[in-house]
Structure 1
């Protein structure tokens, strides 16, 4: 627990005021006679002031005896090693011939075909799943089939580019 000097000073002031008030008021209330001898009250007031001075002049630094709180840091654990794909350039280069145009019921859509990427791109298993998309198309026989791929704009935003075929 970390403590600052301001609350410690306030606590000391309140404690010393309580002790001083107790010491100065108790002899005055205990005295029933009005003989005019105020020596006991003066001694009690001086004792209260001395107590107040001792409390306020206390050392705020922690001592070597360990009577103050000591801050112990939380243990840190090493992060697990995750191998990254080798970077050839600034961008990950996807094979351009995997970019296909699919004719769907809602119009034409361009996608990087998943099966083509799995065959021709070594890190296809690391492509972001948020870019994955499935479309329904008609094949040559007129049957509706589902094709899976990755949206080019989404991949481009994450550092992937289509490599030019030479």
Structure 2
């Protein structure tokens, strides 16, 4: 119930009580009892309206909706994946030059994944694929 409704009931109760007190000369006996019962009934109605208002005012917590991030931003072009042979094994990495040409969000890639390798063909720059996967990136399906 709204505050306006409660205040209007309160005003009506006070007005009716004031009119009934001043309308007729006081009679002994049943008239005082009727006024008391009327006032008590008005207070009960007002109290019930206030308690109903408080019961409905409690906030209801709805579960928070977690929207997944768009996967297209974290989809890396498969043509940029390179397999390099180093002195201690094979390393899969995304070519830096290829990503700059074919991937729009290169500036958002994690800096911790950036690497440089010495291979048989010379120095190669790029991003470690294992590290990128740990940060949520994946190779796009073509």
TM-score (norm 2): 0.48
